[in-house]
Structure 1
């Protein structure tokens, strides 16, 4: 018989507790790595990297080679979906993404979808999965409908998502149609990643914290639940991580109502409180403040100890509360892994 390959991160997502906990970091492939900066300079713009499968695979693998993380997260972007739905996408240096035409002023049906834009992403997954060490879990991802819609409606990121929230209040039927379309396409996109080799997937709802309880129920919980159900129907053995950044006191409701297999916690969440209110045995991921990874020293050591103690009896994946910052010292990442016993 063939020996079973042990994948610690995948085991935790399926409900096992591991000590030391498996670890990966959001945005672990990116600008804090010299090797990434060199490849980016060679290849050009961000989207040029994302749609060049060999380059995107190389970027995904860079932090695995350097640090041996337990998970490799696909190098891509949550705005690939609106790009595939027909919006033009570009990234402006120092300012972030721009989408046109904006859906505040244009109809979604007027756009011409091009779902061939998903194919390079799937090929990246295939190439990374083939090159990963056998113990490393391949993670795919997508943005959740609420967060993606905020960019589609406004054409860019914003502090309070005001334009999108106004549409949701003033034109709920029109906005629901956008969310329904995003549910459908996101489920298909995640299923395509899984078919290509992703062993678990994460739903990023980066702007979930801007909504009232009623709006959170309609625009965060309901769409994520629908995606989870659709993906699980097709891939019942693939764990799904939900990351509703800023959800705060609504986390327990999110965990219970969406049906995710694990929940990511941002840095504002008290891990002791989270352990008390979340369903018993539900795997959690997080939640070190990315700025602590920059600060290092005793502050980092203390925070790591607090998080590990809070989740000592629960399946736990160590991660940041959001993405790693570009000015994070490489030595501090190594220090973190040492503190975790990796």
Structure 2
């Protein structure tokens, strides 16, 4: 396997004061008595208070674009569980919608977009005015930051260009990503054009989130694992490198988490190639391999299987302890290997929090 091109070393936290939030301390490589804890999709349908707000909003998109309601659902799991970080409630497909692509969320079907079928249709995408369309998201970031406990950090996020492109080209979620992979193999120049649009829009979107108060950002590349190595380098590594490089040029003190889900052995070298400060691991990554190949090089985040939260009991406890034993020192953030599923019992999340917060690890 060929090595990835190396990005410039990521800038670590250069704030004049020492971070006092557990999450930010770990990202800065500072000692901690336990790993900080947050969960992907920690605001969502498993919470009755979320379902109440979702019904009040009228639609998922109206919820995303209401600063007041998006703030409330972001803060709900912080109040209930005391996580060490909150993550902005939004959706990765707000960016293509802001670019002018039609988007709707249908009950029991998920997102549906006006699919882009040919390179000529890319002219439909207009980056002018995206900040005006996404202004409610930036307002929500500011509101969330003001409402957080003093020891809780705020994470902003965006979808990585490849993952967002799969939805834009397919018109919906897909099990085989046939349309997107056809572009990657058959029309890579056309896909490069779309990538250029998304790199610029995504970087600008994350910059505005940071300006509004995000203290770290995460780049979700949910479908990174469907590409072979060469295409992975071109459509996952290179866009992430450019986005992270731009963020680091402007905000060197703000950590960037990258989550190339399903990357397998291609996780090795990803952080160095992109400049990411933290590497989020999906639940298929072997812990021993991650400890030996990845952990010496970067801060890791993950990777408990979300189904263990559904099952609970001894299986959950063993999964949590296995992770804590595998990464017994700093440079580790406890999280899932993907998002919480709706059927997760609240009492199991409470047990997870108790297990992680009760664990004392050596600094």
TM-score by length of 2: 0.91
The aligned residue for residue 318 of structure 1 is 334
The answer to whether the Cα contact below 8 Å between 2:35 and 2:330 also exists between their aligned partners in 1 is no
Q: Secondary structure at the match of 2:34?
A: coil
Q: Shift in Å at residue 314 of structure 1?
A: 4.3
Provide the C-alpha distance between the structure 1 equivalents of 2:356 and 2:298, rounded to a whole number of angstroms.
21
The yes-or-no answer on 1:36 pairing with 2:12 is no
2:333 alignment partner, SS class: strand
Give the corresponding residue for 1:238: 254
SS of the residue aligned with 1:142? strand
Higher RCO by CA contacts (8 Å cutoff, separation 6 or greater): 2
Q: Which residue of structure 2 lines up, in the alignment, with residue 104 of structure 1?
A: 117
Aligned to 2:232: 216
Residue 202 of structure 1 corresponds to 218
Report the Cα distance in structure 1 between the residues aligned to 2:305 and 2:297, rounded to whole angstroms: 24
- Aligned pair 1:21/2:58, yes or no? no
Point out the more displaced range, 247-256 or 124-133: 247-256
Q: Does 1:91 align with 2:105?
A: yes
Residues 61-115 of structure 1: CA deviation (Å, up to 9, x unaligned): 0000101100000000000110011001110111110111x11245221334541
Structural mapping, 1:29-178, within 5 Å: 29-100=43-114, 102-105=115-118, 107-113=121-127, 114-115=129-130, 116-178=132-194
Tell me if the contact between 1:17 and 1:316 (Cα under 8 Å) persists in the aligned partners: no
Deviation, structure 1 residue 212: 0.2
Q: Take 2:246 and 2:217, find their aligned partners in 1: how far apart are those partners?
A: 13
Q: Deviations over 1:189-216 (max 9, x none)?
A: 0000000000000000000000001111
Q: Which runs of 5+ in 1 are unaligned?
A: none
- In 1, the alpha carbon distance for the partners of 2:175 and 2:209 equals 30
Superposition deviation, residue 4 in structure 1: 6.5
1:256, 1:279 within 8 Å by CA — same for their partners in 2?
Answer: no
Flag the 1:335–1:196 CA change in 2: closer, same or farther, 3 A: same
Distance 1:166 1:151, change over 3 A: same
Contact 1:255-1:279 at 8 Å conserved across structures: no
Indicate whether 1:276 and 2:289 are aligned. Answer: no
Q: Aligned pairs, how many?
A: 340
Asked if 1 retains the 8 angstrom alpha-carbon contact of 2:154 and 2:216, the reply is: yes
The residue aligned with 2:14 is: none
Looking at structure 2, the residues matched to 225 and 341 of structure 1 have their Cα atoms a distance apart, in angstroms, of 34
Mapped to 1, the partners of 2:72 and 2:42 lie a distance apart of 13
What SS is found at the alignment partner of 2:354? helix
In 2: Cα distance, 1:18 partner to 1:94 partner: 42
CA distance in 2, matches of 1:17, 1:297: 30
Tell me how large the CA RMSD over aligned residues is.
1.5
